[in-house]
Amino acid sequence: MNGVSNLALERESRVGNIAFIDLKAQQKVIRERVEKRLLAVLDHGRYIAGPEIDELEETLEQKTGAKHVIACSNGTDALIIPMMALNLTREDAVFIPGFTYNATANAVLIAGGTPVFVDIDPDTFNMSTTDLITRIEEVKLEGRLKPRVICAVDLFGSPADYNVLNRIAEAEDMLVFADGAQSFGGKLDGQWVGNLAPVTGTSFFPGKALGAYGDAGATLVRDDDEMAKICESIRWHGTDEQRRESVRVGINGRMSTFMAAVLLEKVAIFYDELEARHRIARIYNERLSDIARPQQHVDGAESGYGYYTIAIDNRDAVREKAGEAGVPTAIYYMQPLHQMKAFEAYAPEGGLPNCEKAAGDVLSLPMHPYLTEEQAHFICDVMHAAVKEV
Ligand SMILES: *Cc1c(COP(=O)(O)O)cnc(C)c1O
């Protein structure tokens, strides 16, 4: 029997089963309150646009500092809605990192823009600001597209380099969007995600740090009242404020009242959970830095730790060993977007070397607030043993 398995047997009784994300443990904490909330929705019967939607929007405005929160159907629509507000055409370039979930690119194309892929920084896995500058210059030189939007992604919860991104956008007369689908609870220079870019889209998919019990999302508008109004209209089929006449093309982008009811109870414990995520991340950072390269964060940034991700040599072999020892891991993402069939028409010449390398190296470890410190140490022990063996 190999060393990792021995270790696993030895610790099994003490650490129990480790989940990659443990929604069941969380549900135990909030079950009664969620049941009450769901029953209240059944009683009032306003399944769409119920009072819980307003309450959630106000709560999230208070928590994040964004002036307007528009609750919507999912994290992808949370990006599509504000992008539709810009009336993008195929001549408009929207710069996105090549290493992200497919939804970022889908949102750009569905909203009518053209994605321009940008390489990532190898340490933060977020959009490289130097490569962004190069690609903006390329687009301007070529003259076919007009640079309109920089849509950064806060990968794994770690805020992108908004101080630099906002400066570039200002100089180029562009707009910064944040795909904050993974970063609710992240911070930069003391400001919460939602307040780092003029527009942020976030996701409440069940597996995200703040997750509903079904699909849900929100567009957060930092201060632009007009943008918020247009987003509200687009979310509701493009209607006017009385929701009668269509004044623009819109979508059905509403959030179910049931999801808002669940989210209200999840938000109530979110910030304690965030502290717990940070405690686990500190253990991982301390104990894994000698065998792997944990994701780095830009100066002044705190990750929301939706995921805890490292780059590691012999990734696939290490992953297999860890799995055998009872440590579930995941790979986000195995393939950069510019190499996927749907988006290969937008692949830049010469590829995106850092995106391609990251796809081969990254590994996400169990990360949720109900991991004990003992479990975190066990996971580190297993990772060390696995690295020795491969
Ligand atoms: C999850 C995710 C989305 C999409 O969110 P959905 O709620 O699943 O639509 C968009 N971008 C990124 C980076 C994501 O991780």
Report whether residue 216 contacts ligand 1, using a CB cutoff of 6 Å: no
Q: Give the model's confidence band at 385: pLDDT under 50 very low, under 70 low, under 90 confident, else very high.
A: very high
Report whether residue 73 contacts ligand 1, using a CB cutoff of 6 Å: no
Query: What's the pLDDT score for residue 217?
Result: 98
The helix/strand/coil state of 40 is helix
Query: What's the pLDDT score for residue 14?
Result: 47
Quote the percentage of the chain above a pLDDT of 90.
96
Bridge partners of 252? 236
Average pLDDT, the chain: 96
Report whether residue 104 contacts ligand 1, using a CB cutoff of 6 Å: yes
Quote the percentage of the chain above a pLDDT of 70.
96
Query: What's the pLDDT score for residue 6?
Result: 53
CA distance 268 to 72: 20
State the DSSP H helix or E strand holding residue 115, giving kind and residue range, or none if neither: strand 114-118
pLDDT tens, 11-65? 444 466 899 999 999 999 999 999 999 999 999 999 999 999 999 999 999 999 9
Residue 127 main-chain phi, psi, to 5 deg: -50, 130
Query: What's the pLDDT score for residue 11?
Result: 47
Query: What's the pLDDT score for residue 5?
Result: 54
Ligand 1 centre to CA of 203 (Å) is 6
Tokens in use for 284? Answer: 């991982």
Model-level pTM? 0.95
Residue in 159, 170, 174, 97 with CA at minimum distance from that of residue 128: 97
Report whether residue 182 contacts ligand 1, using a CB cutoff of 6 Å: yes
Query: What's the pLDDT score for residue 44?
Result: 98
Average pLDDT over every residue of 114-136: 98
Query: What's the pLDDT score for residue 377?
Result: 98
Atom 6 of ligand 1, residue of closest alpha carbon: 75
Atom 2 of ligand 1, residue of closest alpha carbon: 181
pLDDT surpassing 90 at residue 117: yes
Residue in 264, 267, 275 with CA at minimum distance from that of residue 371: 275
Report whether residue 203 contacts ligand 1, using a CB cutoff of 6 Å: yes
298: amino acid identity, one letter? V
CA distance 360 to 286: 23
Query: What's the pLDDT score for residue 4?
Result: 55
Average pLDDT over every residue of 251-274: 98
pLDDT tens, 170-207? 999 999 999 999 999 999 999 999 999 999 999 999 99
Query: What's the pLDDT score for residue 222?
Result: 98
pLDDT tens, 286-309? 999 999 999 999 999 999 999 999
Ligand 1 centre to CA of 308 (Å) is 17
Average pLDDT over every residue of 217-234: 98
pLDDT tens, 323-341? 999 999 999 999 999 999 9
Greater confidence, 14 or 245? 245
What sign has the CA pseudo-torsion 301, 59, 22, 155?
Answer: negative
Report whether residue 53 contacts ligand 1, using a CB cutoff of 6 Å: no
Ligand 1 centre to CA of 177 (Å) is 14
Tokens in use for 121? Answer: 């920084």
Report whether residue 332 contacts ligand 1, using a CB cutoff of 6 Å: no
Mutate which of 100, 108, 155, 205 for ligand 1 pocket (most atoms within 8 A of beta carbon): 205
Residue 94 main-chain phi, psi, to 5 deg: -115, 115
